[in-house]
Amino acid sequence: MSEQQEEKIILANWKANFSPSRAAQWCEEFSAAYQPVAGMEVVIAVPFLCMQEVGRRLNELEGVSLAAQTVSPYPQGSYSGSTPAAWLRGLAKYALLGHRERRDYFHETAQDVAKQVYESLAEELVPIVCVDQDNINAQTAIFDTEDLLKIRWAYTPKDAEQLERAHGNQSIETAVSSISKKVGHQPVLYGGGVNNSNGAQILELPGVQGIMLGRGCLDASNFAKLIKSLES
């Protein structure tokens, strides 16, 4: 396993909660409170509209990277309204793909997500693909073993993500172990109801490489406190 894979990831997914002005305020509050933690990479998944400004504001923070919340399954060209991965090269490090909300509300299929993965890889973005027990088989069946290992995988159970209520530790550990076996025995991220009260405990579970926060990251100061609490 590579050194990169051993590093833990703390991912904040803003979703569509912040306007550009509110995003700037979040960055200011986070920058004032954030302290880097050895072995932890903080990833901020931001809307395309905010990405350049957020990158400028957080650029000097050690251990902080950006992620796109999706990318187009198509390259540059006549695809109105899309944002191709090529435009994010050098700006974002990761692309968060296959999120439950993208699959449910925008009707993205496993094939759509696979196309996004290949577009991301072509532009040197690291894809983080969200799956649950219902779609993991369909999603992994598209990739060969070599491609599976180029992807970071995140277990995001639908009910926990919708209700912002994490599954129990034993349930998470069992599901993560099952998913890991299907993706080349890689460690897996977990998202769904993660917050300051349970984040550290979930991150310590076997096979969990990182945690993903939705609502739990919207308060910048509290998010910075969670990161600080993970210091060993």
Comparing CA positions, the residue from 70, 190, 72 lying closest to residue 131 is 190
pTM score above 0.85: yes
Strand duo 208-213 + 8-13: pairing: parallel
Using CB atoms within 10 A of its CB, is residue 98 exposed (0-12), middle (13-18) or buried (19+)?
buried
pLDDT digits (tens, 9 = 90+) for 214-231: 999 999 999 999 999 998
Strand duo 126-131 + 152-155: pairing: parallel
Comparing CA positions, the residue from 189, 161, 196 lying closest to residue 175 is 189
pLDDT digits (tens, 9 = 90+) for 56-73: 999 999 999 999 999 999
**Residue type, position 101, single letter:** E
pLDDT digits (tens, 9 = 90+) for 113-170: 999 999 999 999 999 999 999 999 999 999 999 999 999 999 999 887 665 678 899 9
Please give the C-alpha separations between residue 1 and each of 9, 130, 193, in angstroms, as whole numbers: 15, 21, 28
Work out the percent of the chain whose per-residue pLDDT is above 70.
96
